[in-house]
Amino acid sequence: MTQDNDSNAPDAHLPALTADLADHLRRLVADDLSARDGVRPQVDGATAVRERSSHNLTILAQRCGAEAPEHWPALIALHFTSLNAVAQGGESAEELLRRTVLRLLPAEALTGDVAAGHRYAWQPADGLVTALALDAPDSVRMLTDADVERVGLDALKAAGRANLLAEPVEHEEIRTPSGALLHSVYGDSHFVASKALVLGDLARTLTGRDLPEAGALVVVPTRHLLAFHPIVDATVVDAVNEMGMYAVGAYEDGPGSLNPLLYWWRRDGLVCLTAFDEQTRAMQVVPPPELMDLMRRLHTESQGDSEQTRADTALSANEMGTEARRFTERLPQEPALLPEAFRAATAHALARCVEDPDSAKLETWEAWVTAMQLGDALFATTLPHTGPVECRIGDRVVALPATGPSPQANARAWLDAFWFALVCRERDRLSRLAQIPLDDLRRADPKQDAYLLHWIDTLQAYWRGASLDDIAQKLIATMETSDPKVATGTEPALLNQIDYQPAALFHRLITGNREAFAEILTEAVALHDHYWSDSPDPRSHVALGPLALACLAHDGDFPVDATLPRLPKHLISRAWCGEFPT
């Protein structure tokens, strides 16, 4: 399935806008700069090139994407008026020393003619460049080589470092769904992300502790956001992927996009761990051998821990609920947290079923609804929109930017979102999920096995009301590609005991074989327990895929055994549906 109109797809260079709207923005920018300079600039991709300067249009595109197109000319005029104002210079040497701050910029910010006037700038790591910025009360401008010559580079570097350390920030400790500790550093300052240049001092100030000898993972997706994970135990294995995905989402959402890559901070500097393809939007984490050896050692050491120790360190359902609320409450200001919010809400909903295995409590239903809403929002924001996407989350409506396809919105996330929507009987949301292009899910994770996409294709066709013959052909493709000899990228136990079971149930459902459905449902629950054993992972508490198929079967008048474990009976019977607006 592909998009009907390529012009509605996110622009390759300005993904905050569709291709048509991005072209419209470029024309407006060219008109504005032509009127200012008397010469028509070259505006291509994400860059506008004037006679003496060039401008990256990413931030401007993000701002315009949040407004109706009729307001764009005024926004563009204000944007370039501000840029012209901050480029005048003329400050005294004393003022330069007092106001200069070290600033991280994307590597592409200083190229061509712009780089020629900033030869003093240096590269701390791949994809980044450090410059000196003058932080005036009403504007921020980059110091030129002429500014630096008046005062001296060493003096300005020292002043810039001291002023950077003094910049105010907010700090919050977050546990990711895997249990990894994430330090989120954010604020209104233009220099929050730049504090990665002084991460050791920053961590000591915020936590009272030095970063470990192994260093830390760090991302700087926007100028207003920095996140780091001290490497102290095996949680680094999951943190690598979680932080890498988080960085890409925050970078695409903006505002103030800086860099989508993941870095390894050590006392001697930053090492880039990822490669990012602008065309496919695919991100691949490539740790160096030294970090791989470290991760293997920490993982091996963790295997020696007792099951009880792991259970004791796992987050409780209440703690997971607190984490999920923290993420969702920050979404209006930090929409890039949406994937993390969905993962946290999923963990919370499943963990609620430890103390409430039948889902007899309202709090459990609320947790499931929140997870459903966040899953829907994650994919709704990937579809083409001309402005923000209004999503109901909890008891409020949140306006989220349309990001276009995202690595976080991948096939497994789609299945989770679809299962939650089935359990909550959300027909409109299911219909929206059925419209997500398979090509987008494929690009989100090019290495995933094909059976996942065939399975999603089957479910989408079923929900869109395709013919039984069409659905059957797609299901056959799912079965054939889920053979362990074909699906070599998936652990055989996960493939056979978890992923395959919903497809087997679906086969019996569409053929009307009630007796076989009941037998396979019992077997699916047993295999679920066998796979997860005594794991503290929240997914061990509910057989999510089989539960969703049981809900579908119940609504089709199939008898469903309400005594089976891992299948909350009040969710199957839709006892809570309609309890409050969703």
pLDDT value, residue 311 = 40
* pLDDT tens by residue, 260-307: 899 999 988 899 998 655 554 555 677 888 888 888 788 777 655 434
Say which residue the tokens 């003094």 belong to.
166
pLDDT of amino acid 358: 96
Buried residues in 367-395 as b, exposed as e (16+ CB within 10 A): bbbbbbbbbbbbbbbbbbbeebbebebbe
Classify strands 389-393 and 396-400 as parallel, antiparallel or unpaired. Answer: antiparallel
CA distances from 496 to 32, 445, 490, 524, 567 (A): 60, 21, 10, 10, 19
- Give the pLDDT confidence score for residue 46 in this predicted structure: 84
Residues whose CB is less than 8 angstroms from the CB of residue 451 and which lie 6 or more positions away in sequence, other chains included:
478, 481, 482, 486, 487, 490, 499
Q: Provide the pLDDT for residue 85.
A: 62
pLDDT reported for residue 276:
56
Whole-number Å distance between alpha carbons of 315 and 312: 8
Report yes or no: 509 and 549 within 8 Å, Cβ to Cβ.
Answer: yes
How does pLDDT run across 458-511, given as a tens digit for each residue?
Answer: 999 999 999 999 999 999 999 999 999 999 888 899 999 999 999 999 999 999
- Give the separation between CA 409 and CA 342, rounded to whole angstroms: 10
Q: What pLDDT is stored for residue 4 in this prediction? A: 39
CB-CB contact of 266 with 200 (8 Å): no
pLDDT confidence of residue 16: 87
Per-residue pLDDT at 5: 46
Q: What is the pLDDT of residue 308?
A: 40
pLDDT of residue 254: 74
Query: HSE on the CB side for 323, CA within 13 Å?
Result: 29
**What pLDDT shows up at residue 50?**
73
Q: Residue 263's pLDDT is what?
A: 96
pLDDT of res. 315: 64
Instruction: Annotate 101-112 with b (16+ C-beta within 10 A) or e (fewer).
Output: bbbbbbeebbee
Neighbours of 558 (CB within 10 A): 18
Contacts (Cβ under 8 Å, ≥6 apart) of 217: 228, 229, 231, 236, 239, 240, 243, 262, 263, 264, 265, 273
What is the three-class DSSP state of 203? Answer: helix
Which residues of the chain carry a pLDDT beneath 70? 1-7, 51-54, 84-90, 137-139, 275-284, 302-315
Note the maximum CA span of the chain. 85
Kindly report the backbone phi and psi dihedral angles of residue 326, in degrees, each rounded to the nearest multiple of 5, phi listed first.
Answer: -60, -45
Rounded to an integer, what distance in angstroms lies between the CA atom of residue 301 and that of residue 143?
A: 49
Tokens matching residue 24: 């419209």
- Cα dihedral 48→49→55→59 (10° resolution): 10
Taking the C-alpha atoms of 287, 109, 156 and 137 in order, what is their torsion angle to the nearest 10 degrees? -120
Beta-sheet strand order (sheet of 54-56): 42-44, 47-49, 54-56
